[in-house]
Amino acid sequence: MATAMLRAILHLEDKYALTDFKKSCYNAAVKITVTSPSRCVRVLTDETFGPERSVGDRIASLSIVKGAARVLSSFSRDTEQDDKKNAKQQQDIVRVGKSRRWGSGRREKVPSQANRFAPLAGNFFFSLSSQYGRPFRTPRGIFSNVSMLTSGFEAFLIRYIETLGLLIRCARLSPATPKMCSTMIRIALALRYHKNADVRLAVLHSIFCIIEACDVNKSVFDVIESDIVELLVWIDLCSNGDSNIKCREEAKAIREILRNCNSRLSTSAKVSDETLFAKIKSFSSYQKMNTTSSLL
């Protein structure tokens, strides 16, 4: 019943010029997906990569996936905006003397809620990530010569990367998070030199999601350790040499987050050696990256 209703809503037409028609369809689709997420995510994946769908329709399906993940994980848009703001504020810290630092005050902790998305995270994420780079299907079920990597589909590719990044953030302590991050790193490595600046910006944001996942779920770094440093080197180069100012600012924000975490580790005796950033700090390739960047 849920899948049939979801398909019907996805193909509804606004024949009567109703007010907030698209918003009402989106809200209804999210609510249906939340009631039967495992089945509905398969429908949304088919609609996202299926035949005879416009770019707008494909993006709309991705938006429903994101909306359902937010509801199931209790991860609101306000939380996401606050996290982005805090990342940007890392660049606005004013140093006074050699030891004092001034910045924004601490944010009050929000009471934790049950994350119903955690056991479903792998199903959501890998249903989408398995389609990366594959051609879209034609009405007869065969593959066409058009994919998300085709010129003209950059808008869809950006939403696709953003959706995968959000799913990682919503997963938190899910057992599937390490593998999700490993898959996201492979996609990020493939797209980090994309000619479209907005695609590169989406890749940078996905890396931020991976780093955040590492800090929450300590087992993640053990899985991605061999690949994350290559991305960190690219972030270092991007922060100084990318042609787009937004990409440079995002890369600098990520670097500042890593530096601040390493700084706290060096001055705190209570931090365990198993902490993510302790491992990054001791990782020889990362030390080499910092040495190189100081010479630029």
Instruction: Kindly report the CATH class assigned to 2-92+115-294.
Output: mainly alpha
* Higher local confidence (pLDDT), 273 or 23: 23
Q: Which residues are paired to 147 by β-bridges?
A: 135
| Cβ–Cβ < 8 Å for 181, 210 | yes
Q: How far is CA 35 from CA 39, 133, 160, 171, 220, in A?
A: 10, 30, 23, 18, 29
Residue 109, pLDDT > 50, answer: yes
Q: Domain locations in the chain?
A: 2-92+115-294
Residue 41, pLDDT > 90, answer: yes
Give buried/exposed letters for 257-277 (b at 16+ CB in 10 A, else e).
bbeebeeebeeeeeeeeebbb
Q: Residue type for 204, please?
A: L
pLDDT one-digit tens code per residue, 129-174: 999 988 887 665 555 678 899 888 999 999 999 999 999 999 988 9
State how beta strands 135-137 and 143-147 pair. antiparallel
First to last CA, the chain: 60
pTM above 0.85, yes or no: no
Structure tokens belonging to residue 286: 């990362």
pLDDT attached to residue 216: 80
Distance CA 60, CA 26 (A): 8
Q: Which helix (H) or strand (E) holds 101?
A: strand 100-102
Structure tokens belonging to residue 239: 């922060």
Q: Which helix (H) or strand (E) holds 95?
A: strand 94-96
Residue tagged 């919503």 (tokens): 170
Q: Give me the helix-helix angle, 177-191 and 197-216, nearest 10°.
A: 160
| Cβ–Cβ < 8 Å for 231, 189 | yes
pLDDT one-digit tens code per residue, 237-290: 999 899 999 999 999 998 888 776 655 544 443 444 445 555 554 544 444 444
Name the 3-class secondary structure at 94: strand
Residue 102, pLDDT > 70, answer: no
